[in-house]
Amino acid sequence: MKIQEGQESKKAGYRVPFGTVSITPKARKLINEALDTGWVTKGKYVKEFEDKFAALFGVKHGIAVSSGTDADALACAALYDLGARRGDEVLVPSLSFIATGNSVFQAGLTPVFVDVDRTTLNIDPLKIEAKITPRTRAIMPVHLMGKPADMNAVRMIAKKHNLRIIEDAAEAHGAEYHGEKVGAMGDMACFSLYAAHIVTTIEGGMILTDSDKIAEVLKSLRNHGMTGKFTFERIGFSAKMNELEAAVGLGNIDIFNDILSKRRRNMLYLIEKFRKFSKFFITLTEDSHEKLGPHAFSIIVREGAGFSKDDLVAHLEANGVDSRNLFYSMPTQCPSYAFLGYKLGDFPEAEFCSDHGTHIGIHQDIGIEQLDHVVVVVEGFLKKKGVSY
């Protein structure tokens, strides 16, 4: 379908869906083999998947768990074996999916929120040290939308204050920072393997670490704190991955580079196409020192644009472009955290991103034609608003 510039597609049912999932023939074969053996709980496929996932990032240990949230929670809980006590603090960005904050609470620790930089969506290093107290034990930078956080600054601060680093790399499969792989720069790194991500097990998560000690603690934590056959050394979780999920993941490992390259093609294409709209939108960028591992394409309506995020989203949705809100400022825009006592205005950058931001899909099943449709829809929106770009 050829879309003429400045004209929105009128093709019935034309969609640019937000997410997708790749279930390969290999995955189907392994699922059937697991079903035939009658052993579908954690077994050989989970171990193979852990090893191959860790190898992708050049990290020694992979610990497969039942979700990305559990990955974050177990990583936080592992801090107890590294000297933390109940109620100690973990610094997290104020803008993220709610699981980032929830996981800290689930581990019995206290999230301390740091505002973000609206141009990167990530934790603002200049605001971290002011939040450090004698009870701070770790920093959890989130590589939001697959854009790496400023890890050099984070590592410098962590070293200065003797803090652990837990990378929340849920959305950042395949991202790189100054030649280093995201997921290999902290004491632990946590990935979501939910259906919308580059490597998926449908539901699932993975924790990476180079530490033998931390790996053993994490393996215990995912199985009720058990060591050996029936000794419970710590308070743990029930967070194991099963063989069927690992089979899907093994299929994705085989096509990882293909998925990553298609997503990067789509991301870079939209970055270039949206340059002409820069007067109105802040969008993802890729700087020379980094490679994004794209999850989605964020669009933030600038101050003084003359229209709202809700206006834009309504137009996108009406023209077949699926979207999601750009998360929320957890401490001030999520009712579940009202008990913390923060008020609107405490995290102005995160609140701005949430109030003015959305994100759309750039996954591997979206083609250039669909991306052109997105561009034409945005052009049509700006034309309707009577603004020039």
- Alpha-carbon distance 188 to 2, whole Å? 47
Q: Which residues contact 368 (CB under 8 A, 6 or more apart)?
A: 266, 269
Q: Which residues contact 124 (CB under 8 A, 6 or more apart)?
A: 114, 115, 116, 117, 349
**pLDDT of 173:** 97
Inter-residue contact 97 to 194 (CB < 8 Å): no
Inter-residue contact 300 to 118 (CB < 8 Å): yes
**pLDDT of 210:** 98
**pLDDT of 9:** 45
- Alpha-carbon distance 238 to 224, whole Å? 6
The tens digit of pLDDT for each residue in 280-318 reads 999 989 999 999 999 999 999 999 999 999 999 999 999
- Alpha-carbon distance 343 to 358, whole Å? 23
User: Which segments of the chain have a pLDDT < 70?
Assistant: 1-14
Task: Give Dmax over CA atoms of the chain in angstroms.
Answer: 69
Cβ-in-10-Å burial (0-12, 13-18, 19+) of 119 comes to: middle
**pLDDT of 34:** 87
**pLDDT of 324:** 95
Question: Which domains, from first to last, does the chain contain?
Answer: 25-115+122-254 (3.40.640.10), 257-384 (3.90.1150.10)
